[in-house]
Each structure stands twice: as C-alpha cells, then as structure tokens.
Structure 1
Amino acid sequence: MMKPFLSIKNLTVSLKSSKEPLLRSVSLDLAAGNVLGLVGESGAGKSMIGKAILGILPQAVEITAGEIWLNDQELLRKPAKERRKFIGASTALIPQDPLTALNPSRRIGPQITERLVDILDWKKDAALARALELLNEVQIPDPERVMHSYPHEISGGMRQRILIASAFAANPKLIIADEPTTALDVTVQKQILHLIADLQARHQTSLLFVTHDLGVVSKVCQHLSVLYAGKVIEASEIRDFFKNPKHPYSRALLAATPKYNDPASSLTPVPEEVIAEVEAEIFAPRTECSHVN
C-alpha cells in the first residue's frame, strides 16, 4: 500500500464554549499524487477538515485531539510560526466562491503573485512571469490584460480559473479544493472540473476535494470518505463505493443523487430511519478529549 502523504488520525475539533465536538475522531489518508473526495450533507464537517489542515479554523473552535501528518511532519506539534511557514510552502486552497475570495479593490496580477513574493520570497519579476505562465495554463485569453483587471471586470468562470492558477502557483504538494464549482453554472462547472483534474494529473499534486456532489466525486477522485455530523462513516475506493457502498447512509445518499440521464425521475430523500440509525451510531456516549496545543 502506498504511504500516505496526508494522514489525519483521530482528529477532534470542538466548540470552545460548550466543548461540543464538530469533528469526531476523523481519520483519513491521502497518498501522494492521488485525489480524495470528502462528501456529505451541508454541515457534515467537510470544509472544517480542510481548515484544520491549513490552520485557519474559526476562533470559536479548537482542535482538542488528534494528529495531522503532512509529508512525515506532524503539524499540530510544530510552533505556530513554523507551522504557518511549512503549510504556506507545501499547501494551497481553491476556495468556493471566487467573487468573495478575490479582493475587489486589487488587480488580479498582485493577487496571484502576493503569496509567491510575501511568503515564498520570490523576486517580483519571477513571480509576474510565473503568474502569466499560469494564466496561460488555465486557458485564460489575453492574460496580460487580465493581470491588470479587477475581479468585477471578468466573468465568474475566469475568476475561478484565477483562483486555480493561484493555488498551483508555487507547485504545492497538497491542494484543498473546497467545493470549487458550487458558485458556477453547470456548463462552466464541467470546464473547471476538467481543468482541475488535468492540472492535478500533470503536476501530480495530492488533492483533497470537498463536495456534496457524488457525480463530481466519481469523475475526479480515486478514493472518498463519507461524513455525517463530523464523523467519517465510510471510506472506500471510488469503484468499490459505487458498486457496493457498505453503510446504509452511503447507500441512501447514492439513491438520493439526481439522475441526470432521467431528469423527470422523482428525487429520493434519505429515509428518516437511516438518519436515526446513523445518529444513534455517532452520538453514542463519548469520553473526554485532551487539549492539543
């Protein structure tokens, strides 16, 4: 079995005020150059896993147990400054909404080069050259004009391509894509998915792909983890999952997925008895967690 590049072990994230866990002993592995999908309903904890890795959790929550290993380095034991530097050099994020992710008062060029210059100490000229190269790579026409444009002057699809270019700018070993097609129309979604898959394969980047769409997972991922209420309830290879999902909730999610080849078919909700079963499994009595500094 290939050694994981990213390994999360029993990660628990809790509210500081009430100590209520939001992630519950989450464990997952992602091999170098592979794509792992995190799927589940809204609020299942998918994005929070990415934020825990990147060290950008909201102030109201904290990591109370577990380990996060990235390229044989345990992140949570590192001093904060060293951790930020390591994460900045080895990881990147493709956020969900390009309009809110980009600064509306700054031109595109400086937003792409900022991380290269300020965090990774690139020379300004080299960073600008890299930015132009990336805009060509993500198939943006007239990249020099776009470099001098403001976010509101370009389309949503182009803004998302710019965020993808920014993520790949410093050749990170791990990219976290947090529902990167949600804010786009269906036609543009397909183009963006193809682009991300192509760049990931070309650069052999490890990719953690957060989504609620099983159809997307089937196209871009080799493995997936299904979450409910902050807990991984099934982890599987993609081909095995779609042939024979093991957990009743996973089977119900598959049954509830819209059939694009039969748009007139009725949607199938997840049965209440399945929800009751999975919640009984998750909310069983738990032991106290020790705080991680």
Structure 2
Amino acid sequence: MNARPSCLSISGLTAILPNGSRVLRSVSLDVKPGEVHALVGESGAGKSMIGKALLGVLPPSVRQVEGSIALEGTELETLGAAARRRLIGARTALIPQDPLTALNPSRRIGPQMSDRLTHILGWPAERARNRIREMLAEVHIREPDRVIAAYPHELSGGMRQRVLIAAAFAAEPRLIVADEPTTALDVTVQKQILRLIADLQRQHGTAILFVTHDLGVVAKISQSVTVLYAGMVVERAPTPALFATPQHAYTRALMAATPRYTDPASSLQPVGSAVLAELALEVQNADNEWKRAHG
C-alpha cells in the first residue's frame, strides 16, 4: 500500500531578485496531513516569502527560478495559471498577520467571509451563510448575525482575527498558512487566539504551516519545525527534538535569546557575533556553490 503523500512538499525552492540575489536558498520542507509545521526565524529570514510562493503571490520583484511545490502530490509547476489558482483556492487558506489591513473596510464582514465559498467553491448563498454562522460560533463569537452585518472597524482586533480564522477554516481546506497571526494582538488576546487555532486544527484535522518568529509559540502549537536564516534552512526537526537537542548554533542562540517568562529578572542574550559570522559564511558558501552550478 502506498504511503499517503505529504500535504505540502517543498523541494529546492529558490527565488531571486532582479539583481540576482537569492531571497530563498534551496528551501525544502514537508508538512504531513493534520500536522502543524512551524517556520521560524528572525525578520527577513524568508518565512513569509515561502508562504507567498506557495500561494502564488510572490512580489513582482521576486521570481521563483528553481524547485518544486506539491500539494498532496500534485506539482503546482505542472499546472497552468488557472488550474493552479483553482487548486490553491480549493485546498488552501490563509490566516494573515494583520486583520485590519486584511479586511476590506468598505464591505460588511458576511460578504467578505462568503466570497471564497461562493465564488471559488461554488456554494449556494444560503449554504455559505449557514456555514459562516457555524464557524463564527466555533470561534466563540456570541452574536454571529451582528458580526456578519458589521464593518471591520466596528470589531475589536481580537474579533477581527477570529473572523479571519473562521473564514480560513470554513471551507475545510487541507492546508492553512498562518502568517504570524498573533503579531498585531496584545499578549492576552494572543494566548486566546493560539488556543483557538490549536483547538480548531485538532477538530478539523487541518495541516498548518505556521509562520512565526516566536519560539514560545513554536513549542506550544507545532509538531515539527524548520529554522530559517537569510532564506536558507539551517535546521529541521520534530519540535520535541529541536528543543531537547538543537543541532545548529543559530537555533541554540535563538533559544538563548528568548525571554523567560518564569524568570523575568534574567537578561536577554542577543545572537552572538561568532554565530552570525558562521551563518554569513554558510550563506556565502551556499551562494558560491549555486553560482558555480548555474554558470
């Protein structure tokens, strides 16, 4: 019997700028069905760029030049533009970073939530409305009809993020890209939203590619981790193994730099210059090897 394919498989993904600089350096990772896979690294590491490459929304200045992205065994590069959009629309969803900018301020919440169900998946309007009510209840919004009729500015930040989470899970996608979904929220609301995403993920069995810079979040929500630096994978491991025995000096430095809430008096440890120098050398060597291979 053949093994079930990965929900998401990325192999050798490379993207470049017009000047030839690589922003993604031969990235490979796998997300198993029903798994939360964390993509972690500091700002500018390339985390969000991987999600954009998957969803087909890379910035105009960035071009994918190598590698493959497969959803449940289907290679996206083999599809035409329209077929790729249909597949991504049917099988993936996004929880964006900032709910205020992600929602259209001139439209009510209900139509924004139902767009994907009606226009991409072809659901009848009544079925879509009922599904939206169900999902708003699942994210613990007490008055779904009031929220459906509201404009984004009439909701709190936490409620807007709950709306986007409900919209992402509504069509039962195989994979959700959660792009730092708690960054714009205060600490108390962050905990509620993380718990909500984890609960929904278990209930629906959805795979999640969880983009974050917070190792505390990684420990709480994920089963496996990929650590990035400058668009390059420096370590991949199951989450328990990564925290028990991190293999790369950069991973260890990130852990040392994480605030300890159990010890608020402890000082922060920045990533050391020796580690950064080692990383710079790794990146340079990888770039030189890639240039030699490509003439």
TM interval, short-chain normalised? over 0.9
State the match for 1:286 in structure 2. 289
State the match for 1:8 in structure 2. 10
Q: What are the superposed Cα offsets for residues 176-230 of structure 1, whole Å, 9 maximum, x if unpaired?
A: 0000000000000000000000000110001000000000000000000000000
Q: What are the superposed Cα offsets for residues 99-156 of structure 1, whole Å, 9 maximum, x if unpaired?
A: 0000000000000001111111111111111111110011001110110000000100
What SS does the corresponding residue of 2:11 show, helix, strand or coil?
strand
Q: Distance in 2 between matches of 1:62 and 1:77?
A: 17
Q: Describe how 1:48-59 pairs up with structure 2 within 5 A.
A: 48-59=49-60
State the match for 1:249 in structure 2. 250
Q: What are the superposed Cα offsets for residues 233-290 of structure 1, whole Å, 9 maximum, x if unpaired?
A: 0001111111110000000100110001111211000001100001101121133487
Query: Are positions 1:163 and 2:161 aligned together?
Result: no
Q: Distance in 2 between matches of 1:153 and 1:64?
A: 43
CA 1:71/1:178 → structure 2, altered by over 3 Å: closer, same or farther? Answer: same
- Displacement of 1:3: 4.2
What SS does the corresponding residue of 2:135 show, helix, strand or coil?
helix
**Paired letter, 2:52:** K
State the match for 1:104 in structure 2. 105
State the match for 2:94 in structure 1. 93
**Paired letter, 2:141:** I
State the match for 2:194 in structure 1. 193
What SS does the corresponding residue of 2:27 show, helix, strand or coil?
strand
**Paired letter, 1:12:** T
Could you tell me which runs of 5 or more consecutive residues in structure 2 were left unpaired when the two chains were aligned: none
Does structure 1 conserve the Cα–Cα contact (< 8 Å) formed by 2:45 and 2:228? yes
Q: Describe how 1:192-211 pairs up with structure 2 within 5 A.
A: 192-211=193-212
Q: What are the superposed Cα offsets for residues 81-105 of structure 1, whole Å, 9 maximum, x if unpaired?
A: 1000000000000000000000000
- Displacement of 1:62: 0.8
Does structure 1 conserve the Cα–Cα contact (< 8 Å) formed by 2:5 and 2:72? no
**Paired letter, 1:287:** W
Q: Distance in 1 between matches of 2:283 and 2:76?
A: 27
State the match for 2:76 in structure 1. 75
What SS does the corresponding residue of 2:176 show, helix, strand or coil?
strand
**Paired letter, 2:96:** P
TM-score, structure 2 length as denominator? 0.96
- Displacement of 1:167: 0.4
Say which is worse superposed, 213-222 or 1-10, in terms of deviation: 1-10
Q: Distance in 2 between matches of 1:250 and 1:88?
A: 34
Query: Are positions 1:148 and 2:149 aligned together?
Result: yes
Q: Describe how 1:234-245 pairs up with structure 2 within 5 A.
A: 234-245=235-246
Q: How many residues align?
A: 289
Q: Distance in 1 between matches of 2:126 and 2:184?
A: 33
- Displacement of 1:77: 1.8
Does structure 1 conserve the Cα–Cα contact (< 8 Å) formed by 2:100 and 2:152? yes
Q: What are the superposed Cα offsets for residues 150-183 of structure 1, whole Å, 9 maximum, x if unpaired?
A: 0000100000000000101110000000000000
What SS does the corresponding residue of 1:24 show, helix, strand or coil?
strand
Identity fraction in percent: 59
**Paired letter, 1:75:** L
Does structure 1 conserve the Cα–Cα contact (< 8 Å) formed by 2:5 and 2:73? no
Q: Distance in 1 between matches of 2:258 and 2:49?
A: 23
Q: Distance in 2 between matches of 1:2 and 1:191?
A: 33
Q: Distance in 1 between matches of 2:142 and 2:15?
A: 43
Q: Distance in 1 between matches of 2:240 and 2:168?
A: 28
Q: Distance in 2 between matches of 1:4 and 1:112?
A: 28
Q: Distance in 1 between matches of 2:41 and 2:106?
A: 35
TM-score, structure 1 length as denominator? 0.97
Q: Distance in 2 between matches of 1:287 and 1:235?
A: 21
Q: Distance in 2 between matches of 1:259 and 1:124?
A: 49
What SS does the corresponding residue of 2:289 show, helix, strand or coil?
coil
